[in-house]
């Protein structure tokens, strides 16, 4: 009997204690304004069903045979004795005392086989001035190559391996316009001449321009390590397709700081096809010099527009001059392309074939203008856009 009373008392006490604790807890939560956390649990996904691969070995195995090392030699002239360049002696003897000698310089870079017949895409600065070019395949085989054509304005060049009997491993091209920031990329090249090397990163940005590297710029930016010797090598996606040609790095020391630039595959392919077919690249040209309109410039000169390009110079008898454009005019649109910078004019016009007519829209003072210009072929040293 006593045991039953004790158990009843214990049960009553415990129940009362739990009820009191619950009331205190609810009161405390309500008083502090706190709510229960709503944790979102990620769904359980088997490892082998995840979209991102844990190894890029298959992509590298597919692309690496197409990436080659390029070794170049060129002959330079140098003075033998610094004494002969002394201004005092040159004042009396001129260049008659000058003695020179020939010197061979060697450099290295990378390239990509883009055709089974032996065409190789690389950077112009890799082979610039070269008198002899050797291409070393991933297998270690060494072959000679000739220059088919170069395009300094995009820093691209096409070589041809001098061995027609080879069925060489050509890389496959991806459409660079489908790239997204955050996509995984791999850079394959020959940094510092150590041999073929693969580095991995992501696409940091697309459409980088006005960096002062090339005339025509539309770079892919990546944090995949790109070092001296990588120039001309392949930037590939996770499937092993080429998406760009590694070209430059942003560095104060010469080493990789995680900011590298590559020429998009779409741009490189277009240049390459023209170089193979004709030996040079044909681009449109308008013959103007322009200045970007900023709010400050618009305010300073009381311009009617605060966007567009202010024409600062026009080549006499050039396409723009014949169309009736004048210095001081403001161009806001070419055909359907809205313009915010002089760099955009350069790119828009360059894509037009010589002989193509374009509509130019803008303002002259307070009056709107609409003119028609016939594009000409861009000269080798245009000076103007």
Average pLDDT (297-305) is 75
Task: Pick 300 or 30 by higher pLDDT.
Answer: 300
The pLDDT of residue 306 is 74
227 touches 109 (CB < 8 A): no
Helix residue spans in 136-202 (DSSP H)? none
Average pLDDT (201-225) is 88
Task: Pick 294 or 367 by higher pLDDT.
Answer: 367
SS3 of residue 119 by DSSP: strand
The pLDDT > 90 percentage for the chain reads 47
Q: Supply the CATH classification number for the domain 63-161.
A: 2.40.10.10
At 169, the pLDDT band (50, 70, 90 cuts) reads very high
At 177, the pLDDT band (50, 70, 90 cuts) reads confident
Average pLDDT (320-335) is 92
Least confident of 56-60, 97-101, 232-236, 319-323: 97-101
pTM: 0.75
Please list the residue range(s) of the chain that carry CATH number 2.40.10.10.
Answer: 63-161, 176-278
Average pLDDT (53-65) is 91
Checking if the pLDDT of 369 tops 70, the result is: yes
Please list the residue range(s) of the chain that carry CATH number 2.30.42.10.
Answer: 284-377
Nearest CA among 346, 332, 336 for reference residue 384: 346
What's the N-to-C CA distance of the chain in angstroms?
108
Checking if the pLDDT of 167 tops 60, the result is: yes
Q: How far apart are CA 107 and CA 193, in angstroms?
A: 9
Average pLDDT (193-219) is 88
155 is catalytic: yes
Q: State phi, psi for 297 to the nearest 5 degrees.
A: -65, -40
Task: Pick 385 or 73 by higher pLDDT.
Answer: 73
341 is catalytic: no
**Residues 176, 203, 292, 268, CA torsion sign:** negative
Write down how long the chain is.
Answer: 385
At 361, the pLDDT band (50, 70, 90 cuts) reads very high
Checking if the pLDDT of 87 tops 80, the result is: no
Checking if the pLDDT of 59 tops 70, the result is: yes
Q: How far apart are CA 230 and CA 39, in angstroms?
A: 46
Q: Which of 155, 241, 266, 329 is catalytic?
A: 155
Checking if the pLDDT of 98 tops 90, the result is: no
Checking if the pLDDT of 27 tops 50, the result is: no
Checking if the pLDDT of 94 tops 70, the result is: no
Q: Which of 231, 241, 256, 329 is catalytic?
A: 231
At 4, the pLDDT band (50, 70, 90 cuts) reads low
Q: Which of 26-40, 101-115, 152-166 has the highest mean pLDDT?
A: 152-166
CATH class, 176-278 region: mainly beta
Mean of per-residue pLDDT scores for the chain: 81
Checking if the pLDDT of 220 tops 70, the result is: yes
146 is catalytic: no
Residue 148: CA count within 13 A, CB half-sphere: 22
Q: Supply the CATH classification number for the domain 284-377.
A: 2.30.42.10
Q: Which of 66, 125, 256, 329 is catalytic?
A: 125
At 48, the pLDDT band (50, 70, 90 cuts) reads very low
The residues near 269 (Cβ < 8 Å, ≥ 6 apart) are 114, 173
């Amino acid at each position: 009997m006593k045991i039953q009373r004790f158990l009843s008392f214990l049960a009553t006490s415990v129940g009362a204690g739990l009820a009191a604790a619950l009331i205190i807890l609810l009161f405390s939560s309500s008083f502090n304004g706190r709510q229960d956390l709503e944790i979102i649990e990620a769904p359980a996904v088997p490892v082998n069903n995840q979209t991102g691969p844990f190894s890029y070995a298959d992509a590298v195995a597919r692309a690496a045979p197409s990436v080659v090392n390029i070794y170049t030699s060129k002959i330079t002239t140098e003075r033998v004795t610094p004494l002969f360049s002394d201004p005092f002696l040159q004042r009396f003897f001129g260049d008659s005392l000058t003695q020179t000698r020939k010197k061979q310089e060697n450099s290295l870079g990378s390239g990509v086989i883009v055709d089974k017949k032996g065409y190789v895409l690389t950077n112009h600065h890799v082979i610039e001035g070269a008198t002899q070019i050797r291409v070393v395949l991933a297998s270690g085989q060494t072959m000679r190559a000739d220059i088919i054509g170069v395009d300094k304005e995009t820093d691209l060049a096409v070589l041809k391996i001098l061995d027609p009997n080879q069925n060489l491993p050509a890389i496959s091209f991806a459409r660079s316009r489908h790239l997204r920031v955050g996509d995984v990329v791999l850079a394959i090249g020959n940094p510092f001449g150590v041999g073929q090397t693969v580095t991995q990163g992501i696409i940091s940005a697309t459409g980088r321009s006005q960096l002062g590297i090339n005339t025509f710029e539309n770079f892919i930016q990546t944090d995949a390590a790109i070092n001296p010797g990588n120039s001309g090598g392949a930037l590939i996606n996770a499937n092993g397709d080429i998406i760009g040609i590694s070209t430059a790095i942003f560095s104060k020391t010469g080493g990789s700081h995680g900011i590298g630039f590559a020429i998009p595959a779409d741009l490189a392919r277009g240049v390459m096809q023209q170089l193979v077919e004709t030996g040079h690249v044909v681009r449109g040209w308008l013959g103007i010099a322009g200045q970007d309109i900023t709010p400050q410039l618009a305010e300073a000169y009381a311009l009617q527009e605060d966007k567009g390009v202010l024409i600062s110079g026009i080549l006499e008898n050039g396409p723009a001059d014949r169309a009736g454009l004048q210095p001081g005019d403001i161009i806001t649109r070419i055909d359907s392309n809205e313009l915010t910078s002089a760099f955009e004019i350069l790119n828009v016009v360059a894509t037009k074939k010589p002989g193509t007519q374009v509509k130019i829209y803008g303002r002259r003072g307070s009056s709107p203008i609409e003119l028609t210009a016939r594009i000409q072929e861009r000269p080798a040293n245009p000076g103007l856009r």
